[in-house]
Amino acid sequence: MSSELAMADAATLVAGYRSGDFTPVQATEAALAQIERLDPHVHAMVLTDAEGALAAATASAQRWAAGEPRGPADGVPTTIKDILLVRGWPTRRGSALCAHLPPADQDSPAVQRLREGGAVFLGKNTTPEFGWKGVTHSPSYVPTTNPWNPGLTAGGSSGGAAAAVGLGMGAWSIGTDAGGSVRIPASFTGTVALKPTYGRIPAYPASPYGTLAHPGPMTRTVADAAVLLDLVSAPDHRDWFSLEAPSSSFTVGLHDGVANLRIAFSPDLGYGENDPQVEAAVRAAVEVFAAAGANVEEVAPIFHDPVSAFHTLWFPGAAKVVETFWTGEGDWERVDPELRAGISQFGQVDASAYLDATAVRMDLGRRMGAFHTTYDLLLTPTMPIAAFEAGLEVPRGWGRRWWTSWTPYTYPFNMTGQPALSLPCGFTGDGRPIGLQIVGPRHADGLVLRAGQAFTDHTDWHTRRPPMAMEER
Catalogue the active-site residues: 81, 157, 181
Residue 330 exposed, middle or buried by CB count within 10 Å (0-12, 13-18, 19+): exposed
Backbone angles phi, psi at 209, to 5 degrees: -85, 10
Residue 11: strand pairing partners: none
Angle, helices 276-291 vs 445-457, to 10°: value is: 90
Residue 370 exposed, middle or buried by CB count within 10 Å (0-12, 13-18, 19+): exposed
Interacting residues of 236 by C-beta distance below 8 A, sequence separation 6+: 109, 112, 202, 204, 242
Give the CA distances from residue 399 to residues 185, 272, 390, 393, in Å, rounded to whole numbers and listed in that order.
22, 15, 17, 11
Identify the CA nearest to 405 among candidates 418, 416, 392.
392
Chain mean position to CA 454? 20
3-state secondary structure of 28: helix
* 444-473 burial code (b ≥16 CB/10 A, e <16): bbbbbbbbbbbbbeebebbeebbebbeeee
Give the CA distances from residue 430 to residues 369, 388, 466, in Å, rounded to whole numbers and listed in that order.
39, 12, 13
CA–CA separation, 322 and 341 (whole Å): 13
Q: Cα 149–151–153 angle (5° rounding)?
A: 85
Using DSSP bridges, classify how beta strands 420-427 and 192-195 pair: parallel, antiparallel or unpaired. antiparallel
